[in-house]
Amino acid sequence: MSVDYAGLFRLDGKVALVIGAGSGIGQSAARALAAHGAYVVCADLNATAAAATADSIGEAGGRGESAIVDITREEEVSRLIRATASRHQRLDVAVTTPSINVRKPVLAYSAGEFDRVVSVNLKGTFYVLREAGRQMAAQGGGSIIAFASIRAQVVEPGQSVYSATKAGTVQVVRALAAELGPQGVRVNAIAPGVVDTPLTHQITQSPSWYRAYAERNALGRWASPDEMAGPVVFLASAAGSYVTGSLLFVDGGWTAVDGRFTPPL
């Protein structure tokens, strides 16, 4: 069998939905998928931001449209995915990025804060995974990509509920990958390290905190949202055709580095 190695990452003729496309990692993912040939539906809670991303794709020569969605609302997620698949006759790629965080010790966490973080990060992601999975299973193929975090495996004070939701996301991804493999649907998660996005604004505004996180990984720096785009394209394309049920760390070596101290070897 002849393989077009040069075209492994191309997505020509594919339809992709990116939720959280209005900013940060979602915006970079949407632009990258479009640059590789996909028609991209840029969805976000912020309609203006989603439209701006879609416009930027058009200005760069790509194709796309915008949509509004609140992933905490089951019916909105279902409606968006049904409408996308109906309008374009299929859905080949689904990427979901939205998350929130409340940084507090466990003993200070309120029930309301717990519910809010779980509602967006775990329940909302679950809705996207389930609805995209239903559509792709019915059509006989597709790639679903959910954003987890290094916090799915390593934690620190104040990250309890956020970490729990990310670990939960990974396990749902793995279960769905096992369930939908026979239908040709691949399901994977990406675990970023520290990325300069609106979610990390609290940290980037504190020079000492920012430096401490930069020094924690092997590369000694933060990532830009655009550095998450390559892994998304890989998992969405034929280049990742045998990858499913995986957690891909894109963390600058954070999880490989044992502690913050470099011993004098």
Q: How far apart are CA 151 and CA 162, in angstroms?
A: 8
Query: To which residue do tokens 């930027």 refer?
Result: 56
Residues 6+ apart with CB under 8 A from 245: 173, 174, 177, 178, 181, 187, 188
* Residues 45-58 pLDDT 10s: 999 999 999 999 99
Neighbours of 77 (CB within 10 A): 25
Inter-CA distances, 37 with 15, 61, 64, 146, Å = 9, 10, 10, 21
Residue 240's alpha-carbon distances to 6, 63, 74, 227, in angstroms, are 14, 23, 29, 17
111: how many CB neighbours lie within 10 A of its CB? 7
HSE on the CB side for 93, CA within 13 Å?
31
Domain ranges in the chain are 11-249
What is the pLDDT confidence band of residue 204, given thresholds at 50, 70 and 90? Answer: confident
Helix (H, G, I), strand (E, B) or coil at 191: strand
Q: Which one of the listed residues 127, 162, 210, 213 is annotated catalytic?
A: 162
Alpha helices (runs of H) in 149-244, residue ranges in sequence order = 160-180, 201-204, 207-216, 229-236
Instruction: Taking residues 222-242, report their average pLDDT.
Output: 97
Domain covering 11-249 in this structure, CATH number: 3.40.50.720
Read off the pLDDT of residues 82-140 as tens digits, 9 standing for 90 and up. Answer: 999 999 999 999 999 999 999 999 999 999 999 999 999 999 999 999 999 999 999 99
Mark 29-65 as b/e (b = at least 16 C-beta within 10 Å). bbbbbbbbbbbbbbbbbeeebbbbbbebbeeeebebb
CA angle 47, 144, 138 (to 5 degrees): 100
What's the mean pLDDT when you consider all of the chain?
Answer: 95
Of the candidates 165, 166, 94, 103, the residue with the CA atom closest to the CA atom of residue 131: 94
Q: What is the pLDDT of residues 60-75, one digit of tens each?
A: 999 999 999 999 999 9
What gap in Å lies between CA 91 and CA 78, rounded to an integer?
13
127 classed as catalytic: no
Kindly tell me if the per-residue pLDDT of 29 is higher than 90: yes
Q: Which two tokens stand for residue 250?
A: 């894109």
C-alpha distances in angstroms, 140 versus 13, 81, 117, 237? 16, 16, 33, 16
Helix (H, G, I), strand (E, B) or coil at 249: strand
| Band (202; pLDDT cuts 50, 70, 90) | confident
Q: What helix, strand, coil percent values describe the chain, rounded to 5? A: 50, 15, 35
